[in-house]
Amino acid sequence: MYRAIRYGTLFGALLLGAGCGNNSSAPAESSFIPRPKIVAAEAMSDSLNSVRLTGYTWDPEAFFTSFVECTQKCLPPIPALPPMLLDNNPLFLRSVVQGSKVTLLDRSGSASPLPTVDSDPLGSWVLPKVPIRDELYYPSTTGEGELPTFNYFPPLTPLPPADYAPTVSLRPVSTADADGCWGIEASQLSTTGILQAIAKYLSSKGTATTVANLYGNGNRYEGVTVFWLYNPGFSSLRGPGAGTTVEASRGQVLNVEWAPPGVLPPPLSDLQSQRGFFVAEGAPVSSLGIVAVLVPKGSTDPVTYKFKDPTTDAASGRPWKYPDMTVAPTSEAVTFGGIQLRFATGTASPPERVACRPKQ
């Protein structure tokens, strides 16, 4: 018995020695239990210090004209469509901009050059690695893109093609302590809508002006900002804020109106853009909440904007309000501010920023 134990112990020792005799190579990796991978912190720096941004590009003028036409043609049994930015709303689908080049404007100058991405056929875009920082970013488009050619809602007339101006959206994005940002609105203004109406108005005052004189290399202004004030409600609601306007700490303020192309008599018809917009000279407010501010050359100091509603009506929560906004002018592109006003009884909280999911 003891002999068997000695033989067994010796045989086990020989097997153990054979297994440990060659330690120059690691055993083969199991196909069932993968070997843990060690990644240096430097290799993860981009993921740790950047955030993913997703959003959409849209044409607010095309959205508005589709909404107006729907109020006239979308009769029973077809209900009128609400002016809401929803991905199942034909009014929105008709106004998305395909093939737009989207990036972020860095007003602080502290960020490295950011990539430019294209919007897809539904107007969506993704910037996968945007540096995390305390300073704000602003969505920006370079002027490319086109409206969908497919008519998403047959009762409405197909929208004619349009060219676009480089546009910066006053929808600041804060990536500080963020794990992801979504629903970022990158607006685009056409060269045949509000901007063309501004150029025609300035030309009528004795200075020949084209849309190209409002931004970029040919600009005559330190910055041109177009505000579209919307009435309060759901965050996706884009109903025009009737009877509102904007005051600016400096610059020329123009209230803008709209009428169906071809219905205005001369000389007002000569000032109307192809999309139907025109400057209402001397008007104290805009019935649609569209206001343009032209900042003259000479100073790049920030401009303070105050949003005004002279109407008092408790039933509709007026006067509507919105906190003052101070922004530096931008000459390389036009600036668009789609501002959803707040009810008179609401809190005086600061302007909203794009929704970003905080880090856990």
List, for residues 139-192, the tens digit of each pLDDT value. 999 999 999 988 888 788 888 899 999 999 999 898 887 888 899 999 999 999
Q: Would the pLDDT of 8 be above 90?
A: no
Residue 17 lies in a domain: no
Choice among 118-122, 150-154, 239-243 with the minimum mean pLDDT: 150-154
The DSSP-derived string for 87-134 is TT-HHHHTTB-BT-EEEEE-SSS-SPPPP-EE--TTSEEEEEEEE--S
Peptide bond into 267 cis (omega under 30): yes
Q: Which two tokens stand for residue 29?
A: 């990796």
**H/E element, 65:** helix 60-73
Range name among 151-155, 233-237, 337-341 with the lowest pLDDT average:
151-155
For the segment 231-239, the average pLDDT, to the nearest whole number, is 93
* Residue 41 backbone phi and psi in degrees, to 5: -60, -35
Average pLDDT over residues 326-350: 88
> Would residue 235 count as lying in a domain?
yes
pLDDT tens per residue across span 213-229: 999 988 999 999 999 99
Residue predicted with more confidence, 277 or 152: 277
What is the predicted pLDDT for the residue at 248? 98
Instruction: Please check whether residue 257 lies inside any domain of the structure.
Output: yes
Show the DSSP H helices in the chain as ranges: 2-20, 45-48, 60-73, 90-93, 194-204
CA distances from 86 to 59, 93, 122, 351 (A): 14, 8, 12, 22
Amino acid of residue 60: P
pLDDT computed for residue 32 by the predictor:
58
Q: How far is CA 250 from the centre of its chain?
A: 25
Contact (CB, 8 A) for 58 and 85: yes
309 inside domain: yes
Average confidence score pLDDT of the chain: 86
**Among 332, 333, 351, which residue's Cα sits nearest to residue 342?**
351
Which token pair is 108?
């602080």
Q: Mean per-residue pLDDT for 190-208? A: 97
Answer whether residue 107 shows pLDDT above 90.
no
Query: How many C-beta atoms surround the C-beta of residue 264 within 10 A?
Result: 16
Question: Per-residue pLDDT averaged across 314-336, rounded?
Answer: 95
Residue 24: inside a domain: no
CA distance 139 to 101: 11
Q: How many whole angstroms separate alpha carbon 140 and alpha carbon 206?
A: 32
Q: Does 24 score more than 80 pLDDT?
A: no
Report pLDDT for 347: 64
pLDDT of 250: 96
Could you tell me the residue range of the domain that residue 350 belongs to?
50-358
Model pTM? 0.85
Is pLDDT larger for residue 201 or for residue 356? 201
| Separation of alpha carbons 344 and 354, rounded Å | 23
In a domain, 229, yes or no: yes
Residue 26 predicted with pLDDT over 80: no
Query: Is 20 domain-assigned?
Result: no
For residue 33, the model assigns a pLDDT of 64
pLDDT at 41: 44
SS (H, E, C) 340-357: ECECCCCCCCCCCCCCEE
Task: Report the distance separating Cα 167 and Cα 143, nearest Å.
Answer: 7
Indicate whether 198 belongs to any domain: yes
Q: How many separate domains does the chain show?
A: 1
Q: How far is CA 322 from CA 96, 148, 196, 248, 312, in A?
A: 27, 33, 28, 14, 15
